[in-house]
Structure 1
Amino acid sequence: MSEAAERLAEVQAHIAGAAQRAQRKPGDIRLIAVSKTHEADMIRPLIAAGQRHFGENRVQEAVAKWPGLRSETSDIVLHLIGQLQSNKAEEAVLLFDAIHSVDRSSLVQALAKACAKTGKRPQLFIQVNIGDEEQKGGCRVADLPALLAEAKDAGLAIDGLMAIPPADVEPAPYFALLDELAERQGLKLRSMGMSGDYETAVMLGATHVRVGTALFGTRS
């Protein structure tokens, strides 16, 4: 096995173990390999090992490398997990299969226009600022019902919620809260958990985990 294949197998095994402990099916959890800042040559070994879902933070970075990679492997699924500027909405809708960072009214309106213009309908997650942190994107917990209602009125289907817990604290209560919010709103998907805490996230209801370092190694 290549080093990339070994890392992928290890993460998949941890996901499966956490799912089984939570009496869930491992196949119900989607692993997103966070490929932001990594060049195509770093990504190809993971593709060769069978990984198909990848996450990027910035539209422009993704535009620079993914059309070429997709010409080599046609069944790649691309997720935008970083903040999205409203003026990049159309570009994002054309490139990404899922957008995890819908977090404000202006972006809802921009995405609705982009979807109507392009005919593309990426899977959409509302990002919730689960720790009420000023420096982080995401809508406030209290504003979630109104943003969901606005998205529905604009013709957008919201499939789930996404969150990034505060750093350096126990993430479990935040994952549990996102799971509860999604349940309350009748949403099936929860995008939560990263390299350091994805097993906890799986045990608390994550359907999508966003893993970078555990798959690509520590950044230089």
Structure 2
Amino acid sequence: MSEAADRLAAVQANIADAAKRAQRPANDICLIAVSKTHDADTIRPLIAAGQRHFGENRVQEAAAKWPGLRAESPGITLHLIGQLQSNKADEAVLLFDAIHSLDRPSLVTALARACDKAGKQPQLFVQVNVGDEAQKGGCMVAELPVLLAGAEDAGLTIDGLMAIPPAEVEPAPYFALLDELAERHGLPLRSMGMSGDYATAVMLGATHVRVGTALFGSR
């Protein structure tokens, strides 16, 4: 447990330092512990150390482990950070408090229907393909205004944007682009930054950082 607490404290200190350099309050940044592929026994020490926001990539995996963990530890906020299939929208809306990967009109339709059925809406982020990468999820930058308008027409509230910059390149320009897009569209939240670059993301406006390896260690 002390190892998990030490890792958490180190990440929190790095976030606080980056926020200070950017002249931002550290408590404006939400740290999401990326718990995908980790079992309940690996997650519990981080919960015990005080971590309350967790991120999962797959609805099925989250459904298998989080109801039990949440029963043990009330107050957990669960984020879906992986791609979402439209046929999983109903389950995702019931299970997650935030969905970071809204990226296409068909998913807008499925989520609007699911939210109406559930009588609630998770916090929603539109994922933007800031690097124009064919193999990666996210709507293209040019398509963002139409997708946002479609979400509004469907009755969905979009709270922010999410991005994963291309690998092996300097991420700062992509973080700056996402920040500028969010600003342009009047969206308050920016989900960007992972274990290798979250400090840079905080410097460039991130409100949510998604950190796995730095908290759980290498696999």
Give TM-score scaled by structure 1 length.
0.99
For residues 86-142 of structure 1, give each alpha carbon's deviation from its aligned partner in whole angstroms, at most 9, with x where no partner exists.
000000000000000000000000000000001121000000000000000000000
Query: Could you say which residue in structure 1 is the equivalent of 2:155?
Result: 155
For residues 150-189 of structure 1, give each alpha carbon's deviation from its aligned partner in whole angstroms, at most 9, with x where no partner exists.
0000000000000000000000000000000000000000
List aligned pairs for 1:1-220, cutoff 5 A.
2-219=2-219
Distance 1:83 1:102 in 2: 8
Q: Helix, strand or coil for the counterpart of 1:196?
A: coil
Q: Helix, strand or coil for the counterpart of 2:125?
A: strand
Distance 2:213 2:12 in 1: 14
Q: Helix, strand or coil for the counterpart of 1:79?
A: strand
Structure 2 portions without partners, runs of 5+: none
Q: Helix, strand or coil for the counterpart of 2:108?
A: helix
Distance 2:119 2:41 in 1: 32
Q: Root-mean-square deviation (CA), in Å?
A: 0.5
Counterpart of 1:139, as a letter, is C
Give the Å deviation of 1:206. 0.1
Counterpart of 1:145, as a letter, is P
Give the Å deviation of 1:48. 0.1
Give the Å deviation of 1:74. 1.0
Distance 1:92 1:121 in 2: 10
Distance 2:164 2:203 in 1: 16
Structure 1 portions without partners, runs of 5+: none
Number of aligned positions between the proteins? 219
Distance 1:32 1:39 in 2: 16
Give TM-score scaled by structure 2 length.
1.00
Identity %: 82
Counterpart of 1:109, as a letter, is T
Q: Helix, strand or coil for the counterpart of 2:113?
A: helix
Counterpart of 2:11, as a letter, is V
Counterpart of 1:86, as a letter, is S
Distance 2:4 2:84 in 1: 29
Distance 1:93 1:148 in 2: 19
Q: Helix, strand or coil for the counterpart of 1:155?
A: coil
Distance 2:210 2:185 in 1: 22
Counterpart of 1:206, as a letter, is A
